[in-house]
């Protein structure tokens, strides 16, 4: 499901840029650095984005995990859904001569998510990992937090944006048990 959401984001941004500025894909979903610390080769002169982190949405954690179907006398127990937000980082990995062009593309990403802060991907029938509505919120980091992020990523600072994206819902389709429902509240003495 995570990969489906990230691929969808990549595709809508490339579609947007292909319509306005370029005929080639300028947004790439990839690690920006290889495991040895070198810059990934296929990411030159592109906006590269990657998953930075996942967080559980705890506000929605206490949802009911029992349902009753019409005409049945028992409650079906299933695991409560897991709601996750995730952070993605966009980096303008443009060569020295194209630095300003990279900043322009970052500006266009900001403009896009400001214009469309909520995106409803089309439903994919029969797919277990179809995604629901995605919301985008720009994250504000101070210099020390940004330095920590770049240290963790393993690279030197480059123009970048971090967005919090909500929310993916992981829901169990099977049931884990049945509980008889209360039929009456009469007491017998």
Q: How far apart are CA 50 and CA 4, in angstroms?
A: 13
Number of domains in the chain: 1
Q: How far apart are CA 144 and CA 140, in angstroms?
A: 12
- How confident is the model at residue 161, as a pLDDT? 95
Burial class (CB in 10 A: 0-12, 13-18, 19+), 23: exposed
Please give the structure tokens belonging to residue 124.
């994919």
| Matching residue, tokens 């970052």 | 106
pTM of the model: 0.78
Dmax (CA) of the chain: 89
Give SS3 for 15. helix
- How confident is the model at residue 31, as a pLDDT? 87
Per-residue pLDDT of the chain (189 residues; tens, 9 = 90+): 888 899 999 999 999 888 666 668 889 999 888 777 777 778 888 999 999 999 988 776 666 655 555 556 666 667 777 888 899 999 998 888 899 999 999 999 999 999 999 998 876 655 556 677 899 999 999 999 998 998 888 878 889 999 999 877 777 666 555 666 566 667 666
**Any domain includes 167:** yes
Q: How far apart are CA 123 and CA 112, in angstroms?
A: 22
Please give the structure tokens belonging to residue 39.
């810059």
N-terminal to C-terminal alpha carbon distance within the chain: 55
Query: 46-56 and 27-29 as β-strands: parallel, antiparallel, unpaired?
Result: parallel
**Any domain includes 22:** yes
- How confident is the model at residue 181, as a pLDDT? 56
Residues 6+ apart with CB under 8 A from 125: none
* DSSP symbols for 19-34: HHT-SS--EEES-SB-
Give the domain extent around 45. 2-61+77-173
- How confident is the model at residue 75, as a pLDDT? 65
Query: 66-67 and 74-77 as β-strands: parallel, antiparallel, unpaired?
Result: antiparallel
**Any domain includes 188:** no
**Any domain includes 178:** no
**Any domain includes 93:** yes
**Any domain includes 69:** no
**Any domain includes 89:** yes
**Any domain includes 90:** yes
């Amino acid at each position: 499901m995570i990969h489906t959401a990230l691929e969808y984001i990549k595709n809508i941004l490339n579609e947007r840029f292909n319509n306005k500025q370029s005929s080639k894909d300028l947004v790439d979903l990839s690690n920006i650095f290889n495991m040895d610390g070198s810059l990934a080769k296929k990411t030159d002169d592109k906006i590269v984005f990657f998953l930075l982190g996942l967080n559980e949405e705890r506000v929605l954690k206490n949802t009911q995990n029992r349902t009753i179907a019409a005409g049945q006398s028992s409650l079906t127990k299933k695991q409560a859904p897991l709601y996750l937000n995730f952070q993605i980082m966009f980096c303008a990995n443009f060569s020295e001569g194209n630095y300003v062009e990279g900043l322009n593309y970052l500006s266009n990403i900001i403009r896009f998510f400001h214009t469309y802060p909520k995106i409803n991907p089309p439903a994919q029938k029969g797919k277990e990992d179809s995604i629901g509505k995605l919301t985008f919120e720009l994250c504000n980091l101070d210099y020390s937090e940004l330095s920590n992020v770049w240290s963790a990523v393993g690279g030197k600072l480059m123009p970048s944006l971090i967005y919090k994206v909500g929310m993916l819902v992981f829901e169990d389709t099977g049931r884990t048990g049945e509980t008889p429902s209360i039929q009456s509240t009469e007491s017998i003495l």
